[in-house]
Amino acid sequence: MRDLVRETDLSARHLIYPLFVVPGVGVRREIASLPGQFQLSPDAAAQEAAAAAAEGVSAFLLFGQPMPGGKDPEGSGAWHDAGVVQQALRTIRAALPQALLITDVCLCAYTNHGHCGVVRGGAIDNDATLPLLARTAVSHALAGADVIAPSDMMDGRVAAIRTALDRADHQGTPILAYAAKFASGFYGPFREAEDSAPAFGDRRTYQLDPAAARQALREVDADLAEGADLVMVKPALGYLDVVAAVRARTLAPLVAYNVSGEYAMVRAAERAGWADGTALALEILTSIRRAGADAVITYHAREAARALGGRRAP
């Protein structure tokens, strides 16, 4: 009876699994702040993707890092054709032709100051950053990315990326815009994984104030007007009202990002013996779907897919 009247469905097809790609061969290094998640060289990323695919997860979000010593003020490692994201796109594609490969486009892991855009006179130069993001997006598309996901939060970047992709003959490559991305403490564990914490200041001049719900909708409107094909709300758990509001406002596909701090809290509670981590994960993912997300980016993807193979979401 409960199955018959269940309102919200959660299954592996709704999940997008983030992969942290690093230089090297045969590298599989557990991330201290994200137990159960790994920094992976391109070959190891392909193995991890194949293992996830065997469990039913076939959408991936790739994050990269520059070669050792490769950080510079402009983040030029982001658009190198031999960069780890570009390499991983090719190795994962060879192993899994049907996988959906989404790439995060941002400069923060590649700049020596750790900001998502270029810095001039101690402030972010929004417009000078746009061509660099566009160049990065094109290099991902050329290496085989199926979807481009800009997370930098510069104004106008969706339009700049759309124009550049079209000129590079990638009219068919969709953009998943991190549209409503809040300046959040929940990204802490990710910045350790990516070595991307800002060297000075914070990201509040380009990411949203956690108190701003209406502005989040304006960001969604702007990104859709600029040509975004899918929009995202991030983080998810503290922002379920925003997920629901965006759902009510747009017919576009909606993705929510169950971010690193949300995952780390679950793992910490589990380690302390205070909760069943997988049960929490399924409940959290169900709540994000219930709020209106079509798909969820989550470090729990493999764990949830395995659990859903055997049991129903709570």
Phi-psi region of 113 (alpha: psi -120 to 50; beta: other; left: phi over 0): alpha
Pick one of 88, 99, 106, 246: the residue that binds ligand PBG (CB under 6 A): 106
Considering the candidates 14, 157, 181, 203, report the single residue annotated as catalytic. Answer: 181
- Structure token digits, residue 115: 């900001």
How many chain residues touch ligand PBG (CB under 6 A)?
Answer: 11
Contacting ligand PBG within 17-56 (CB under 6 A): none
Residue 301 makes contact with ligand PBG by CB under 6 A: no
Which residue bears the tokens 């981590």?
A: 277
- DSSP element (H, E) containing 204: none
> Would you tell me the crossing angle of helices 277-291 and 301-310 to the nearest 10 degrees?
100
Nearer to ligand PBG, 91 or 103 (CB): 103
Alpha helix stretches (DSSP H) within 113-213:
126-142, 157-167, 188-194
User: What track of x and - describes contact with ligand PBG for positions 118 through 147 (by CB under 6 A)?
Assistant: ------------------------------
How many residues make up the chain in this entry? Answer: 314
Residue 187 makes contact with ligand PBG by CB under 6 A: yes
Minimum distance from residue 261 beta carbon to ligand PBG (Å): 6
Pick one of 62, 116, 228, 236: the residue that binds ligand PBG (CB under 6 A): 116
Residue 259 makes contact with ligand PBG by CB under 6 A: yes
Minimum distance from residue 176 beta carbon to ligand PBG (Å): 12
Query: CA 157 to CA 177: how far, in whole Å?
Result: 9
Which residue bears the tokens 């991936």?
A: 60
Nearer to ligand PBG, 17 or 187 (CB): 187
Residue 239 makes contact with ligand PBG by CB under 6 A: no
Nearer to ligand PBG, 58 or 260 (CB): 260
Nearer to ligand PBG, 257 or 292 (CB): 257
Residue 151 makes contact with ligand PBG by CB under 6 A: yes
Q: Could you tell me the CA-to-CA distances from 20 to 104, 140, 270 in Å, in that order?
A: 10, 15, 23
Find how far residue 100's CA is from the centre of its chain. 13
Residue 104 makes contact with ligand PBG by CB under 6 A: yes
Considering the candidates 140, 162, 234, 302, report the single residue annotated as catalytic. Answer: 234
Q: Is 167 helix (H, G, I), strand (E, B) or coil?
A: helix
Minimum distance from residue 207 beta carbon to ligand PBG (Å): 7
Alpha helix stretches (DSSP H) within the chain:
2-5, 42-54, 84-95, 126-142, 157-167, 188-194, 214-225, 240-249, 260-271, 277-291, 301-310
Q: Which of 164, 136, 169 is nearest to 150 (CA)?
A: 136
Nearer to ligand PBG, 78 or 291 (CB): 78
Nearer to ligand PBG, 191 or 249 (CB): 191
Does residue 181 have an active-site annotation? yes
Pick one of 190, 250, 284, 305: the residue that binds ligand PBG (CB under 6 A): 190
Sign, CA dihedral 67-69-75-76, equals negative
- DSSP element (H, E) containing 144: none
Does residue 71 have an active-site annotation? no
Which residues carry out catalysis?
181, 234
Binding site for ligand PBG (CB under 6 A): 104, 106, 108, 116, 151, 187, 190-191, 203, 259-260
